Structure 1
Amino acid sequence: MAKQQDKVIISCAVTGSVHTPSMSPYLPCTPDQIAEQAIEAAQAGAAILHLHARNPADGSPSFEPAVFDQFVPRIRAATDAVINITTGGSTRMTLDQRLAYPLQLKPEMCSLNMGSMNFSIHTAARKIKAWQHPWEQPYVEGMEDLIFRNTFKDIKHILQTLGDGCGTRFEFECYDVGHLYTLAHFVDEGLVQGPLFIQSIYGILGGMGPDPENLVTMRTTADRLFGRDGYRFSVLGAGRHQMPLLTMAAVMGGNVRVGLEDSLYLGRGELARSCADQVRKIRRILTELSLEIATPAEARDMLGLKGRDAVAV
């Protein structure tokens, strides 16, 4: 008899650090907007909320703990969703800046990019006719000459200080097949223990393309490296590739991630008015596929998290 498929974890990445306010009027930038969209996404069915901070004055990416503190406690008070804080921040931040708030909060989960890479949306600048803030155009165009840094030493530092030191587990962001092998290295070194939560990412310039075959390649490679029962597989499709790839992931027994960090759209030519719009859409698709949605409590159990009572704030 075939094994019954697990419930599907929906993650929601609320704002990120890549898109800018000129790209969508619905991108949450202020603490109030981030809190409101995160809470609504959780109410719509997201079990995990992946959070970045932005400068309330102009929407630029921020690492300041004081800014995170304006919305994270509100989200925790209003929902039982797992709080997942970025350790990626942005390409302009140092490692110490990226870890400033995670080390303060000691959350149940953080994201962890599994390698240094070219990461760019500089071509998106060509589509913007008017910029709201002076920082936006050089920020987007400047990505062409920047690298997101996460060396082996950086990753080791994060695993030891935040993982071992704080009991935080990770959403391992893998943009290419090599990132899976990097993760396997750290498993072999004893710095990572299962169950692993692998977020495979498609459609970012500098990473793997959104071809469906790449999803199969990542899934089968992870099977070889970790064993099917040794990890939880999740899929992030950037931009217009979001819903097709997530549907494919669900059929393959995976989990899904939506949110305005990953795509500003709900459908062809239609901007998503909120992250919850995307959560509700993927939830409808999953339901039509006869799949069940994991609650935050079920997600905690599936991923071996320490529980919200062990978080510092």
Structure 2
Amino acid sequence: MAKQKTIITCAITGAIHTPTMSDALPYTPDDIARQAIDAAEAGASILHLHARRPTDGGVSIDPKDFSAFLPRIKQATNAVINISTGGSLKNTIEERIAPALAFSPEMCSMNMGSMNFSFHPLAQRYEAFKFDWEKDYIANSDTYIFRNTFADIGNAATQLAPHGTKFEHECYDVGHLYNLKFCMDIGLFKAPIFIQFIFGILGGIGPEVDNLIFMKRTADRLFGKDYRWSVLGAGGAQMSLASTASQMGGNVRVGLEDSLFIERGKLATSNAQQVAKIRRIVEDLGCTVASPEEAREILALKGGDNVNF
């Protein structure tokens, strides 16, 4: 695959971290919009967005909560908007794709397999929580199965196909790559696909460079020249794996959804701070960061004028 510009994705808030864990984590529409715009100005060409309940920071998949910040972000920046279809681990696929169906974004996430997705060890790190829902939500995640069956994937892909929305195919383990290949073989997805290799989530593959090389080699064998790829390193693996990926010809993802820190033991002050850091690293290592329009061309997106917000 020819060397090309590096796309920076920023995942603004997510569905794992809770308000107690960091004062920088945005959950009101104002804060999500402001941090997304700042991240774009810092160099992110794709903004991966979840919604939150503005009253207490809980996870929301209500399109009304998305509508409170999506138009503001679009008006203020040319960045590609990528809406999550992950939502809460307890929601059905129909509930999870409702925002993408409502807003017809250029991109949305697509998880490529079911898994034991857990973050329950975080419950032991805090003596008190800002909101009543937080502790049980975290502690009980060891009972969750993040459901993404072939039927679920097919349902989401079929309903979103008329929208021309491309997917960030989130692969948490090597088996998810084979799931994706099967789905391409039966016509659910068309090249070029965009794969997000995810490392360091409990229940998925670990955040070692050997695993990154293994996932990349497997994807090369399965998809040849028909894919583009990016790396998400959770927690402390964020910057190191992103830096390595950029030198392997890949793209990168940062953001407070994936890590609350800017360096070991130091909380990030914003999403833009993480974007600025990885941009500096990528450019210092000799790569060029892609603009939003360049990202659209690389990923064959439909364009920001063809969304419903």
TM-score, normalized by the shorter chain, greater than 0.5: yes
Matched to 1:82, the amino acid is: V
Shift of 1:99: 1.3
Task: Look up the SS of the partner of 1:171 in the other structure.
Answer: strand
Superimposed CA distance per residue, residues 252-289 of structure 1 (whole angstroms, 9 cap, x where no aligned partner)? 10000000000000001110010000000000000111
1:244 and 1:39 mapped to 2: Cα distance?
A: 25
**1:34 aligned to which of 32, 35, 39:** 32
**Residue 5 of structure 2: aligned partner:** 7
Indicate the residue corresponding to 2:233 in structure 1: 237
| Superposition map of 1:137-152 within 5 A | 137-152=135-150
- The structure 2 residue matched to 1:212, chosen from 205, 209, 214, is 209
Report the CA distance between 1:4 and its aligned residue. 5.5
1:14 corresponds to which letter in structure 2?
I
- The 5-angstrom pairing of residues 191-202 of structure 1 reads 191-202=188-199
Cα distance in 1 for residues equivalent to 2:90 and 2:43: 32
Q: State yes or no: 1:81 paired with 2:86.
A: no
Q: State whether structure 2 residue 106 is matched by structure 1 residue 108.
A: yes
Q: Share of identical aligned residues, percent?
A: 57
Query: Residue 304 of structure 1 corresponds to which residue in structure 2?
Result: 300
CA distance in 1, matches of 2:252, 2:34: 21
Amino acid aligned to 2:155: H
Report the 3-state secondary structure (helix = DSSP H, G, I; strand = E; otherwise coil) of the residue aligned with 2:196.
strand
SS of 2:155's equivalent in the other structure is helix
Structure 1: unaligned runs, 5 residues or longer: none
What's the TM-score once normalised by structure 1's chain length? Answer: 0.98
Aligned length: 309
Matches of 2:2 and 2:168, distance apart in 1: 24
Q: CA offset at residue 175 of structure 1?
A: 0.1
The answer to whether 1:129 aligns with 2:130 is: no
1:150-202 Cα distance to aligned partner (Å, 9 max, x none): 1000000111111x221100000000000000000011001111111000000
User: In structure 2, how many angstroms separate the alpha carbons of the residues matched to 1:311 and 1:34?
Assistant: 19
2:165 pairs with 1:168:
yes
Name the aligned partner's letter for residue 219 of structure 1: K
Once the two structures are TM-superposed, the CA of residue 94 in structure 1 deviates from its matched residue by: 1.9
What do the CA deviations read for 1:123-172 (whole angstroms, capped 9, x no partner)? Answer: 0111111111010000000100011111000000111111x221100000
Match of 1:289 among 281, 285, 294: 285
Counterpart mapping for 1:239-258 below 5 A: 239-258=235-254
Q: Deviations over 1:204-251 (max 9, x none)?
A: 000000011000000000000000x21111000000110010111011
Distance in 2 of aligned mates of 1:173 and 1:4: 23
Q: Secondary structure at the residue paired with 1:148?
A: coil
Runs of 4 or more above 2 Å deviation: none
Distance 1:25 1:92 in 2: 25
Structure-1 separation of matches of 2:92 and 2:29: 23
Whether contact under 8 Å (2:93, 2:156) holds in the other structure is no
Q: Does 2:54 align with 1:56?
A: yes
Please point out which of 166, 179, 185 is paired with 1:182: 179
Amino acid at match of 2:228: R
| Structure-2-length-normalised TM-score | 0.99
1:23 to 21, 24, 31: 21
The answer (yes or no) to whether the contact 2:43–2:289 under 8 Å persists in 1 is yes
**CA shift at 1:73, angstroms?**
0.5
Question: Given residue 77 of structure 2, which amino acid in structure 1 is its aligned partner?
Answer: T
